[in-house]
Structure 1
Amino acid sequence: MPHTPEPDDEGLDPVPPPHLVFYVEQALLGALLLDPHRVDEASGIGPDSFSTAAHAAIYRAITSLPRPDVAEHAKNTRWLDRVLAAAREQARGLPPSYLHTLVQVCPWPRHAPAYARMVEAEHARRRLQAAAERLVHTVHDVSLTHPVQTVLTEADALTKVVDDIAHRFPPRAGALPRANTSAPPATPNTVEAVEEEKILLATATAYPSDIASVRWLLPDDLILPLHAGLWQCLTALDRRNEPVDPVTVLWEAQQRGLMEDASDPGDVLRMLAEPAASVEHWGERALQRSLLATAEHTARRIEAYAGDRANTPFQLVVGARRALADVTSVRVRWRHSTKATPPLQRRLEATTRARPPTTRAPLADRSTRATR
């Protein structure tokens, strides 16, 4: 097999050796050059399935040219010359000796279907990795006018790639990907997110009757543990139909152990006393951040799976589908949030300063709640 030459210049890093699939592609192309009639047996691949432009050009030439007569092909190299000429139209630097190298390194031409399946599997891995990378890039694209819709569209494109791989490589029961792949945490705009979460909590405290309209917002959607815990306190008080104001929320937080991290009760009280706009508006903002963070985390998990060449296509399908289920879950809640209030009304609420904070008496709302 051809080796990778070392660079002549001192101080340069050595060229990394080709991946295993490079040699698999060589074996497949050598088999097809020796016996062109085996092209029909090497199904499921195309020129874009190969890892190098030269291999893609050779495969395109092999499959596009008329197949030679078997007896004639065994006597001379005329068909190989035509393949070389056609391949050079796409890969001009292709040396004439390379086709002979391919023929020499092929162990058994009759194994062409097995080689083709290996090439197809590696191509599936590259496709999955590229789709996941596009999703990460889309999440971080600050120029998008409608980031959520665009990210969800890219997530759908990633799902289609997974479905296509599953069609070619049906997943097997229990074929989980290797578990030592960990995705890095998402990195949202922490300063902006923290400030908006504070306003969300204060506004929900001032207008507890609006908490029921944002049931689609979960504690995990908030980035700070303290904020997530305070949201749990608010929803718990609302669910129990108890009075909601900064003091009752803080007391509930203490009962849940949230104040054991040395949080200053005075700071929390001041934070809960500064509402603005509407609960729906800030809740939707928090959910949007959660959706984008979930999409990025999912994409990076799939990137990690696809980056591990020990994972088979069967394992990649199972792992990718499990990861994409997280996006589906938050997408459902996003649809509920955007359908709950008409867009025009949400815009008006977002630009209107909230009224002075009010508290809710438990008996005043109990009869109303019973009719919901």
Structure 2
Amino acid sequence: MDPLLTGEQAALGAVLLDPRQLDGLDWLEPRDFYRPGHQALFAALRKLRAEGHPALGTEEVASLAWLTDTLAEASQHVRGLTASYLHALAAVCPRPAHAPLYGRMVLEGSIRRTVTEHADRLLAVAREDAGQHEVHGTATQADVLAGVLNDLATRWGTHSRATALRTPTLPTAVEPPAAAQVGNEQFLLSLLVHQNGAIEEVFDWLRPQDFAHPGHGQLYRCLGALHHRGEPIDPVTTLWEVQRRGLLAEGTLTEEQLAPVLRDGAAGSAEWLGEQLLRSSLTRAAAGAALQIAAHADERRLAPGQLIGHALHALGPLEELRARWRTATSPPTPPPRPDPGQAARVQAALARSPTRPGTRANPTPSHVPPPAPGPQRVHGHTSPRHFHRSSM
């Protein structure tokens, strides 16, 4: 027995038995039903209500005309509906007064399907962008998914806020890194080690978690620590920092992985290589978030509000990555252009300013003593200002 199917049948049966129950289902839409026949029936019921069907004005059990007109209207949009099926729907409903609760069951199923559908789209677009070295489609689909989650939160009547699972057991990794990806990361690390000052090009926006290989991410963390402390980066200091952090001892890095980085010099643009890594990290994070959201939607023990909150939380790291991507790819902000008329306006304003009474344009401080008499030069010799004739 499918609980969702039973809930849809009970909701429709309640309205077929008591048309007035539609008043408590204004928040439910035909697209919320899973089966196309159920969607057509609910749309027909809403249309008859909007047209003021006579069955809505009576407090008695729905008339046969209500069932007949509903079937006729729905049959114009979908095939396979019969009068016997409408009677079966009415038989499934135990109590028509419980229609709002049956409707919430329908809405909950719709929320799970909608979240799963958009998560699958994000996963497909992220994988396609990863193959084409693009990120625009991934960013757009992530925005669409976030908007859908906010809309679903409003419909369900919950707050649209991210909440984390207490015991996360859902998948986080997507696929192991390809050999080409590992090679690109190794080349960038070698460049950062051997090219003086290269890390300054990527330090502000590239993070260790952007590396697909965990060992490469820890090695980049070592380089970042050296740069942060203002220490030089070269093969010797890098090896010393790796040893201090115990990366070789604990197996995070192997000598086979570290040796090419320290031994082989590299030349190129660290900024360009870093952008390639960040692009791969963004699509990889989007695919991972999509897998987590789909797993959340499949967890029936999560209420719709919890599902929406956990899905928004899964998108959080992706948004942080997108912010760093914008920082890395945005052109530098040009300095403000000097205003040629600013100096003239300042001078004009000073000229219009009245001079306060009792002041002069260039006052001479009264406390400054007059200049002391200095020596005079006579015929090329320095002599006192006052001298006696007898000395001549």
Measured against the shorter chain, the TM-score band is 0.7 to 0.9
Rg (Cα) greater in structure: 2
1:246 paired residue number: 235
Amino acid at match of 2:240: W
> 1:181: Cα distance to partner?
4.7
Q: 1:75, CA displacement in angstroms?
A: 7.5
Letter of the structure 2 residue corresponding to residue 249 of structure 1 = T
- TM-score with structure 2 setting the length: 0.76
Distance 1:146 1:68, change over 3 A: farther
Candidates 215, 218, 229, aligned match of 1:229: 218
Aligned to 1:86: 73
Kindly provide the amino acid, as one letter, of the partner of residue 68 in structure 1: P
- Aligned partners of 2:8 and 2:38 also within 8 Å: yes
Closer/same/farther in 2, CA of residues 175 and 262 from structure 1, 3 Å limit: closer
Match of 2:54 among 68, 71, 75: 68
Cα distance in 2 for residues equivalent to 1:265 and 1:177: 38
- Residue by residue, what CA displacement relative to the aligned partner does 1:124-153 show, whole Å, maximum 9, x if unpaired? 121111111110011111597673111011
Instruction: Return the alpha-carbon distance in structure 2 between the equivalents of residues 110 and 23 of structure 1.
Output: 16
Find the residue that maps to 1:57 and give its secondary structure.
Answer: helix
Corresponding position: 1:318 with 2:304? no
For 1:45, the equivalent position in structure 2 comes to: 28
What is the deviation of 1:88? 1.8
The letter of the residue matching 1:36 is P
State the one-letter code of the partner of 1:238: H
Kept in 2, the 8 Å contact 1:124–1:313? The answer is yes
Contact 1:44–1:120 at 8 Å: present in 2 too?
A: no
CA distance in 1 between counterparts of 2:175 and 2:284 reads: 8
Matching residue within 76, 95, 99 for 1:112: 99
Residue 154 of structure 1: how far off its partner (Å): 0.4
Q: How many residues align?
A: 325
Question: In structure 2, what is the equivalent of residue 21 of structure 1?
Answer: 4
Which residue of 2 is the match for residue 356 of structure 1? Answer: none
Q: Is the 8 A contact 1:203 1:275 kept in 2?
A: yes
Work out whether residues 19 and 62 of structure 2, in 8 Å CA contact, stay in contact via their aligned partners in 1.
no
Which residue of structure 1 aligns with residue 183 of structure 2?
195
Q: For 1:125, give the aligned amino acid.
A: R
Cα distance, 1:58–1:301 mapped onto 2, change above 3 Å = same
Indicate conservation of the 8 Å contact 1:31/1:103, yes or no.
yes
**Segment drifting more, 134-143 vs 66-75:** 66-75
Paired residue type of 2:86: L
Within a 5 Å distance, the mapping from 1:1-372 to structure 2 comes to 17=1, 19-65=2-48, 66=51, 67-69=53-55, 70-71=57-58, 74=61, 76-141=63-128, 147-168=134-155, 169-171=157-159, 179=167, 181-183=169-171, 185-187=173-175, 189-214=177-202, 215-260=204-249, 261=251, 265=255, 268-272=258-262, 273-339=264-330
Gaps of 5+ in 2: 334-392
Aligned counterparts of 1:326 and 1:217: Cα–Cα separation in 2: 14
Per-residue Cα deviation, 1:31-65 (whole angstroms, up to 9, x for no partner): 11112122121121211100101111111111112
Structure 1 runs not aligned, ≥5 long: 1-16, 343-372
Please say if residues 195 and 267 of structure 2, whose CA atoms lie closer than 8 Å, have aligned partners that are also in contact. no
AA in 2 matched with 1:316: L
| CA shift for structure 1 position 249 | 1.2
Equivalent in the alignment of 2:373? none
Distance 1:267 1:305, change over 3 A: closer
Q: Which amino acid aligns with 2:315?
A: L
Aligned-partner SS, 1:217 = coil
Relative to 1, partners in 2 of residues 1:284 and 1:53: Cα closer, same or farther, differing over 3 Å?
Answer: same
Answer yes or no: is the 8 Å Cα contact 1:133–1:299 preserved in 2: yes
- Counting aligned pairs with the same residue, the percent is 36
Query: What TM-score, normalized to structure 1?
Result: 0.80
Please tell me whether the aligned partners of residues 193 and 261 of structure 2 are also in contact (alpha carbons under 8 angstroms).
no
Question: How big is the alpha-carbon RMSD for the aligned residues of Structure 1 and Structure 2?
Answer: 2.6
Higher helix share: 1
Q: Which amino acid aligns with 1:325?
A: G
Does the 8 Å CA contact 1:171/1:315 hold for their aligned counterparts? Answer: no
Taking a change above 3 Å as real, the CA distance of residues 142 and 96 of structure 1, as seen in their structure-2 partners, is: same
Q: Which amino acid aligns with 2:214?
A: P
Q: State the distance in 1 between where 2:104 and 2:275 align.
A: 46
Distance 2:190 2:162 in 1: 47
Superposed CA offset, 1:222-267 (max 9, x none): 1222211221121122222222222321222122112223966476
2:75–2:81 CA contact under 8 A, matched in 1: yes
Distance of aligned partners of 1:323 and 1:114 in 2 relative to their CA distance in 1, 3 Å threshold: same
Q: Decide whether the 8 Å contact of 2:129 with 2:135 is kept in 1.
A: no
Separation in 1, partners of 2:58, 2:76: 28
Deviations 1:42-101 (A, max 9, x none): 121211100101111111111112323345974841221121122222221123201001
Q: Which moved more, 1:205-214 or 1:95-104?
A: 205-214
Contact 2:171 2:288 in 1 (8 A): yes
